Structure 1
Amino acid sequence: MSAARRSDEDEREAPRRIHPVKRVALATAGTLVLLLGVALLVLPGPGTLLVLAGLVILGRAVPAVSRFEEPVRVRAMQAMEASVASGWRIAGSVLTGLGLIAAGVVWGVRPVSGLPFAGWSTGSSLILSGVVLLGLLAWSHRRVRRGRQGG
């Protein structure tokens, strides 16, 4: 076996060493995404997918966290499949996404006085939630349809 090949194998087998600054940055970003995902489990938004993303990011900084990824990944994929299981669910999700975008415009423009938390900070977050919802819905639909055609 050549020395170059041996060093490649050693690199794959050795645990990845991450610079301490990068580790702190990954841990911070992963924690923030994870907390946002937990909040979105009860608020409108892709909570399960953000919890999964947070765990993946956090798992790069803290390898012990990686053991929680697979159960959350399974649950996120089940939720994704359920979201596009019928035409009614797809229609409801599309209407919800469009409603979030419309509400964001209303909150940003403030045509009605007395709206709580009126302004573009609230409006833009509602618009972003609607766009993310529609994007995830399209991705879920393509993925499930591809799985049915291939399987």
Structure 2
Amino acid sequence: MKGAAKRVGVEVVGWLLVVAGIAALILPGPGLLMLAGGLVVLSQQYEWAERRVEPIKREALKGAANSVETWPRIVATCLGIVLLVAAGVLWYVRPAMPEWYPLSERWWLPGGKATAITQFASAVVAVGLLIWSYRRFHGKPEEIRRIEQQADADDDREGFFGR
């Protein structure tokens, strides 16, 4: 019984991370990181997930490296983080609906404080990832080249989604 509970727990956590990662590819958040995390968890039970961990991990690392390659990109990322925090503050304070707002009041800043908290948490994760990316990749073109060459070689060998 204990083994079955562990298997169900791993499945639930893995699929939640995969779904949240896919959503975060569109919404604010570390989408590739969550997607990779979900696949790592699912790879404990499924061979298909194990085959997809490395390509997604490489894409996430390429994205991290590219995000700190130039100062304009770093500034743009910082601006995005500031906007995310500002939106969180707006949702947390929840000012009165303006007169010009075309929808009903129930659609004015839906989610309330829970949304604000997730925006603050996303901003903290983004700052952490920015610092990590900067320390690992900024000013290290050889590291970026190594990741890109490895990704290109692996893509040529088996394609992005494996066999």
User: Which TM bucket (shorter chain)?
Assistant: 0.7 to 0.9
Contact 1:101 1:128 in 2 (8 A): no
Q: Which residue number corresponds to residue 128 of structure 1?
A: 121
TM-aligned CA deviation for residue 141 of structure 1? 0.8
Amino acid at match of 1:55: L
The alignment yields a C-alpha RMSD, in angstroms, of: 2.2
Which ranges of structure 1 fall in alignment gaps of 5 or more residues?
1-17
TM-score, length-scaled by structure 2: 0.74
Q: 1:21 to 1:63 in 2, by over 3 A?
A: farther
Identity of aligned residues (%): 36
Which ranges of structure 2 fall in alignment gaps of 5 or more residues?
98-104, 147-163
Amino acid at match of 2:78: V
Q: Which residue number corresponds to residue 119 of structure 1?
A: 112
Q: Which residue number corresponds to residue 53 of structure 1?
A: 37
Amino acid at match of 1:31: W
Point out which structure has higher relative CO (alpha carbons under 8 A, 6+ apart).
2
Q: Please state if 1:39 is matched with 2:23.
A: yes
TM-aligned CA deviation for residue 125 of structure 1? 1.3
TM-score, length-scaled by structure 1: 0.79
Per-residue Cα deviation, 1:97-126 (whole angstroms, up to 9, x for no partner): 121112101111112325331510111111
| Largest Rg, 1 or 2 | 1
